[in-house]
């Protein structure tokens, strides 16, 4: 077995290198080593690349006194190469879906199903505080609680989306947004997260789903996937149009699926009294929170990091064909083309890219 592997490594703002790295080994008895089959790139990876998370380097220096870069990525599928002595539910040779959240299962937060904030060095750590999936191999902590067996009959592109984008959309957008039968919903942003919100919202039979974006190509796909209305916010005033669609009432649930002040602003202006504003997007700067106008409206405003506690349910829904997620896999690359894949995803609007899939050779 080779001692090195190819990996995409972050060294600092705008410093990303496709290079040889040591193949990971078992550190803790609850670990598994997975030989990757497919992975994808998340908007969070782009944010790290642009220098949005300097705490990665600071934490590494504080913990070990050295900074050797960080392999990015927190999504994917693969085959288990090795397991620690404490792993009971998986074995060498099992094909698995890797969860973006690692969970010990026993700490106070895990007992509350708040897995995103596992207190035993879990939560969202992969591709962030530990090396991730943009490589030929990855080490997964707490394997028994953080992997899902990959069914033979599941499209493998769709399986990759079960790592993060689908549970994030469902849990932080739809579940926190308390979407109910007959509701009106506005989804601001038609990227992968927005599309995941659109698809999983339909589990709960809302009457109206309005999708807002600046890209006509993405809006056409949103209409194909179930949106009742689409709005191009470059060509139309999104707030005025949403209010017109809802007879000036606003929506029961507004989902912010981008992470920008402008998209947040649309949400806070269109949610009606007693409604829900579910923030799913990752924000890199402060927004104007109009508490002077919102305090009286009896709103529920939620934020959050995915807990992956609905992944099992979503997996079964995907198996029976309820979610046409294969339409989101717009581009495919080999591992050797990782740099090109990042460039395409960085310029997603120009490239008409939704999600890029990277396949190992």
Going by C-alpha positions, the residue among 80, 32, 346, 40 that lies closest to residue 163 is 40
- Per-residue model confidence as pLDDT tens digits over 265-317: 999 999 999 999 999 999 988 999 999 999 999 999 999 999 999 999 999 99
Domain ranges for the chain, please list them: 4-164+307-359, 167-303
pLDDT band at 1 (very low <50, low <70, confident <90, very high): low
- 167-303: CATH class: alpha beta
Strand extents, DSSP E, the chain: 4-12, 15-22, 32-40, 70-71, 76-83, 95-98, 137-140, 147-149, 184-188, 208-213, 229-232, 251-256, 271-279, 300-302, 329-334, 355-359
Q: Kindly tell me the burial class for residue 3, based on how many C-beta atoms sit within 10 Å of its own C-beta (0-12, 13-18, 19 or more).
A: exposed
Dig out the tokens for 200 from the structure: 């999983």
Measured distance between the N- and C-terminal CA atoms of the chain, rounded to whole angstroms = 15
Under a CB-based contact definition with an 8 Å cutoff, are residues 80 and 32 in contact?
yes
Under a CB-based contact definition with an 8 Å cutoff, are residues 226 and 200 in contact?
no
| The pLDDT of residue 356 | 97
Mean pLDDT of 327-341: 96
Matching fold, domains 4-164+307-359 and 167-303: no
The rounded mean pLDDT for the chain is 96
Mean pLDDT of 242-248: 98
What kind of fold does domain 4-164+307-359 have according to CATH?
A: Quinone Oxidoreductase; Chain A, domain 1 (3.90.180)
| The pLDDT of residue 132 | 98
Share of the chain above pLDDT 90, in %: 96
- Per-residue model confidence as pLDDT tens digits over 164-199: 999 999 999 999 999 999 999 999 999 999 999 999
Residue that the structure tokens 């149009």 belong to = 241
- Length of the chain, in residues: 361
pLDDT band at 347 (very low <50, low <70, confident <90, very high): very high
**361 has a pLDDT exceeding 90:** no
**127 has a pLDDT exceeding 70:** yes
3: DSSP letter: S
Going by C-alpha positions, the residue among 33, 30, 35 that lies closest to residue 144 is 30
Residue 118, C-beta contacts closer than 8 angstroms, at least 6 positions apart = 101, 102, 103, 104, 107, 109, 110, 142
Measured from the Cβ of residue 100, the count of other Cβ atoms closer than 10 Å reads 30
Mean pLDDT of 97-123: 96
* Three-state secondary-structure class, residue 226: coil
Distance of CA 299 to the CA centre of its chain: 25
CA R_g for the chain: 20
| The pLDDT of residue 323 | 87
| The pLDDT of residue 201 | 98
* Three-state secondary-structure class, residue 201: helix
**234 has a pLDDT exceeding 90:** yes
List, as one string, the DSSP characters of 237-275.
-HHHHHHHHTTTS-EEEEEE-S--HHHHHHHHHHEEEEE
Angle CA 328–331–335, to nearest 5 = 125
Q: What's the pTM value of the predicted model, to 2 decimals?
A: 0.95
Under a CB-based contact definition with an 8 Å cutoff, are residues 356 and 341 in contact?
yes
């Amino acid at each position: 077995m080779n001692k090195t592997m190819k990996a995409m490594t972050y060294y600092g703002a705008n410093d990303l290198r496709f290079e040889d790295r040591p193949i990971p080994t078992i550190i803790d008895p609850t670990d598994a080593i997975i030989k990757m089959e497919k992975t994808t790139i998340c908007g969070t990876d782009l944010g790290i690349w642009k220098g949005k998370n300097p705490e990665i380097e600071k934490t590494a220096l504080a913990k070990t006194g050295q900074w050797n870069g960080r392999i990015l990525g927190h999504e994917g599928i693969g085959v288990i190469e090795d397991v620690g002595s404490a792993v009971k539910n998986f074995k060498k040779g099992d094909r698995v879906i890797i969860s973006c959240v690692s969970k010990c299962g026993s700490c106070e937060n895990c007992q509350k199903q708040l897995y995103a904030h596992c207190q035993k060095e879990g939560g969202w750590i992969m591709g962030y505080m530990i090396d991730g999936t943009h490589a030929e191999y990855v080490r997964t902590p707490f394997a028994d609680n953080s992997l899902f067996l990959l069914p033979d009959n599941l499209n493998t592109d769709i399986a990759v989306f079960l790592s993060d984008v689908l549970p994030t959309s469902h849990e932080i957008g739809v579940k926190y947004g308390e979407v109910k039968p007959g509701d009106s919903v506005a989804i601001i942003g038609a990227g992968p997260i927005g599309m995941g919100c659109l698809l999983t919202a339909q589990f709960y039979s809302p009457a109206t789903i309005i999708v807002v974006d600046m890209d006509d190509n993405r809006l056409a796909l949103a209409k194909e996937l179930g949106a009742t209305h689409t709005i191009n916010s470059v060509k139309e005033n999104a707030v005025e149009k949403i209010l017109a669609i809802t007879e000036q009432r606003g929506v029961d649930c507004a989902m912010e699926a981008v992470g920008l002040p402008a998209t947040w602003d649309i949400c806070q202006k269109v949610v009606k009294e007693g409604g829900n504003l579910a923030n799913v997007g990752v924000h890199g700067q402060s927004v104007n929170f109009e508490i002077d106008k919102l305090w009286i409206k009896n709103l529920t405003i939620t934020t959050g990091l995915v807990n992956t506690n609905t992944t099992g349910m979503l997996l079964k829904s995907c198996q029976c064909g309820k979610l046409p997620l294969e339409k989101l896999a717009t581009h495919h690359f080999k591992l050797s083309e990782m740099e090109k894949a990042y460039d395409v995803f960085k310029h997603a609007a120009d490239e008409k890219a939704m999600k890029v899939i990277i396949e190992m050779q």
